[in-house]
Chains A and B, each alone.
Chain A
Amino acid sequence: QKEVEQDPGPLSVPEGAIVSLNCTYSNSAFQYFMWYRQYSRKGPELLMYTYSSGNKEDGRFTAQVDKSSKYISLFIRDSQPSDSATYLCAMSGDSNYQLIWGAGTKLIIKP
């Protein structure tokens, strides 16, 4: 079993819909949780960063962490075609510098 599980998709939704992207993990030591967005033929870029449990909001994006369930989510409100990309979750613990990555979910927003 992988340390971080993420459905690769593709996930296809109409423009304006609310999108929910998720990752589950097995290591209870993880404290830092990130979402990266990767456009085709580009490197990933950091979208959201959360420490420990709770919610974080940035414009149309909300990141949630539920450590009791070992489950993290990224919500996108009022989705736009420009949100079409692969979304990768990443996480790490208190004692290392490496990030553990999900496989990435390909998201397609249809106009």
Chain B
Amino acid sequence: DVKVTQSSRYLVKRTGEKVFLECVQDMDHENMFWYRQDPGLGLRLIYFSYDVKMKEKGDIPEGYSVSREKKERFSLILESASTNQTSMYLCASSSHARVGTEAFFGQGTRLTVV
């Protein structure tokens, strides 16, 4: 059974804190993605990575950074958390094997910044 695992289901952080969200996949996928999901706005891509140590900005990268030191792990970093970063964060992975391939998601991390 394929698996994408996010380190936390629920997280509460204070404004200004540095926040790390971790994601691990066991499918040997090349591509990994971080999205945030807000009511009425759907899934918005923050960053993605198509290889180790490679990263590309998505649609809303401001206030975020990422790290991919190993193929199976993709971390999202909130440099200085703000209340407008309260959201559901979803990690996903997909294979290079063919374009247009489906993405597999983790269970999500609901982050609240107070």
CB contacts (< 8 Å) of B101 on chain A: these are 32, 97
CB contacts (< 8 Å) of A97 on chain B: these are 31, 48, 50, 94, 96, 99, 101
A43 contacts B108, C-beta separation under 8 Å:
yes
Number of interface residues of A (CB under 8 A): 27
A94 contacts B43, C-beta separation under 8 Å:
no
Smallest Cβ-Cβ distance to A95: which chain B residue: B99
CB contacts (< 8 Å) of B4 on chain A: these are 43
A94 contacts B100, C-beta separation under 8 Å:
yes
Contact with B along A20-55 (1 / 0, CB 8 A): 000000000001101000000111111001010000
B99 contacts A42, C-beta separation under 8 Å:
no
Q: How many A-B residue pairs have CB under 8 A?
A: 57
CB contacts (< 8 Å) of B103 on chain A: these are 46, 90, 99
Smallest Cβ-Cβ distance to B9: which chain A residue: A41
Kindly state the separation between the CA atoms of A43 and B99 in the bound complex, as whole angstroms. 22
B40 contacts A8, C-beta separation under 8 Å:
yes
A96 contacts B42, C-beta separation under 8 Å:
no
Q: List 20 A-B contacts (CB under 8 A).
A: A32-B99, A34-B102, A41-B110, A42-B108, A43-B4, A43-B105, A44-B90, A49-B102, A51-B100, A88-B42, A88-B43, A92-B100, A97-B48, A97-B96, A97-B99, A97-B101, A98-B48, A101-B43, A103-B42, A104-B42
